[in-house]
């Protein structure tokens, strides 16, 4: 099945990569922005070339990997293409994901269905495709799934009852929030780049603050920031990380405890692969390096995926609007549950 990063999901922004704390941003609809965060010394095929006079450090750390795949879509506005590619040795497995294009004229030469080869160029601050060659023209139609990859989950899919461990060391299940609209995202606390995981957390803090101004909507929503790095992101680490964002004074003034409405949790190691698969979260850990995508989603009160934002480019106001719209479905559901309970009694 095809691991598609981008089919029929809201638009996003460009990607960048850091060699030491590599964040590979993936976005969809079709533009995923990705971030890969490196916890150690970057390793790849061959040796990093020595820096020559006049050459920036970013250029000196440039790595190139060979890509072979099929164009899924072309986004001229975002200057990127989505490619369904085979394994890229030394970099990542087979999947479908977007890549910025170095030469804008390339966007006029490629079409959906074209088979291409290219260089994936990774520097300290960016990732893009270079030397794109069309080896076989396609029909212009979007290619179907490839057996090498896994099918993307999509809005409308029922979310499994995944288990997490929250900042208090308590095991929680997604199904326990049924009846509320859940806004969740995936992070890891050591992510050092302010435009990626920290940005998403700051955006959640803004949404949390805005929701608190509307108590009826606040009561119908719940926020989850989920770490995919459970070995390091223990409950104690999550609480420390969350402290600047979750104010005890603000929550207690409303008669609530910190984390009642916005929890920080880690994926159980035994469920990490399944959760990553469902929420289209790409991650890879090798030699102390984490490479990961970004995935934010709204789960409707009935437990189905309502919205997806697989990037770091969404705006808090837009997601807040979607979350409020999704939470509006909670009232009829609650009324239905109350009616069923009354009829049963």
Measured distance between the N- and C-terminal CA atoms of the chain, rounded to whole angstroms: 47
Q: What is the pLDDT of residues 257-311, one digit of tens each?
A: 779 999 999 999 888 888 988 887 877 665 555 666 778 999 999 999 999 887 7
The pLDDT tens digits for 57-69 are 445 578 899 999 9
Q: Which two tokens stand for residue 61?
A: 């750390």
- Would strands 24-27 and 221-227 be described as parallel, antiparallel, or unpaired? unpaired
Average pLDDT over residues 40-46: 36
CB 61 within 8 A of CB 20: no
pLDDT in tens, 321-338: 999 999 987 554 443 443
Pairwise pLDDT comparison (333 vs 205), residue with the higher score: 205
Considering the entire predicted model, what is its pTM? 0.61
Give 233's pLDDT tier (boundaries 50, 70, 90). Answer: very high
Lowest mean pLDDT among 132-136, 255-259, 274-278, 317-321: 255-259
pLDDT of amino acid 52: 45
User: For residue 89, what pLDDT is reported?
Assistant: 86
pLDDT bucket at 129, cuts 50 / 70 / 90: very high
User: Residue 122: pLDDT above 60?
Assistant: yes
Phi-psi region of 135 (alpha: psi -120 to 50; beta: other; left: phi over 0): alpha
Residue 24: the pLDDT is 38
Compute the distance between CA of residue 301 and CA of residue 328 in angstroms, rounded to an integer: 9
Q: Which residue in 300, 290, 295 sits closest to 277, CA to CA? A: 295
Report the chain's mean pLDDT, rounded to a whole number: 75
69-91: average pLDDT: 85
Mean pLDDT calculated for residue range 242-257: 66
Q: What is the mean pLDDT of residues 181-189?
A: 94
98-120 pLDDT per residue, tens: 788 988 899 999 999 999 999 99
CATH topology of domain 163-344: Glutaredoxin (3.40.30)
The fraction of the chain above a pLDDT of 70, given in percent, is: 66
Contacts of 283 (CB under 8 A, 6+ apart): 228, 276, 290, 291, 292, 293
pLDDT score for 60:
55
Q: How confident is the model at residue 312 (pLDDT cuts 50, 70, 90)?
A: confident
Please answer whether residues 119 and 130 qualify as being in contact, where contact means their C-beta atoms are separated by less than 8 angstroms.
Answer: yes
């Amino acid at each position: 099945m095809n691991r598609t990063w981008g089919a029929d999901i809201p638009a996003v922004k460009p990607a960048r990569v850091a060699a030491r704390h590599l964040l590979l941003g993936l976005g969809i609809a079709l533009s995923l922005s990705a971030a890969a965060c490196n916890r150690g010394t970057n390793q790849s095929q061959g040796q990093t070339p020595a820096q020559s006079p006049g050459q920036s450090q970013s250029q000196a750390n440039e790595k190139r990997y060979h890509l072979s795949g099929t164009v899924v879509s072309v986004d001229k506005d975002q200057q990127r293409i989505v490619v369904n590619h085979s394994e890229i040795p030394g970099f990542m497995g087979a999947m479908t994901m977007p890549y910025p294009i170095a030469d804008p004229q390339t966007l006029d030469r490629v079409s959906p269905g074209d088979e291409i080869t290219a260089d994936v160029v990774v520097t300290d601050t960016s990732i893009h495709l270079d030397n794109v060659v069309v080896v076989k023209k396609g029909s212009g139609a979007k290619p179907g799934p490839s057996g090498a990859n896994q099918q993307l989950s999509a809005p409308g899919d029922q979310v499994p009852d995944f288990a997490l461990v929250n900042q208090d060391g308590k095991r929680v299940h997604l199904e326990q929030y049924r009846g509320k609209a859940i806004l969740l995202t995936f992070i890891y606390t050591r992510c050092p780049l302010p435009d990626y995981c920290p940005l998403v957390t700051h955006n959640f803090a803004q949404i949390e603050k805005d929701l608190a101004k509307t108590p009826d909507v606040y009561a119908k929503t719940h926020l989850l920031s989920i770490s995919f790095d459970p070995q390091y992101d223990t409950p104690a680490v999550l609480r420390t990380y969350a402290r600047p964002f979750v104010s005890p004074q603000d929550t207690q003034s409303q008669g609530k405890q910190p984390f009642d409405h916005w929890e920080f949790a880690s994926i159980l190691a035994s469920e990490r692969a399944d959760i990553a698969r469902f929420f289209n979260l790409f991650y890879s850990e090798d030699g102390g390096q984490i490479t990961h995508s970004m995935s934010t989603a709204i789960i409707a009160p009935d437990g189905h995926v309502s919205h997806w934002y697989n990037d770091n480019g969404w705006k808090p106001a837009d997601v807040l609007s979607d979350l409020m719209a999704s939470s509006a479905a909670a009232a009829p559901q609650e009324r239905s549950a109350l009616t069923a309970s009354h009829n049963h009694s």
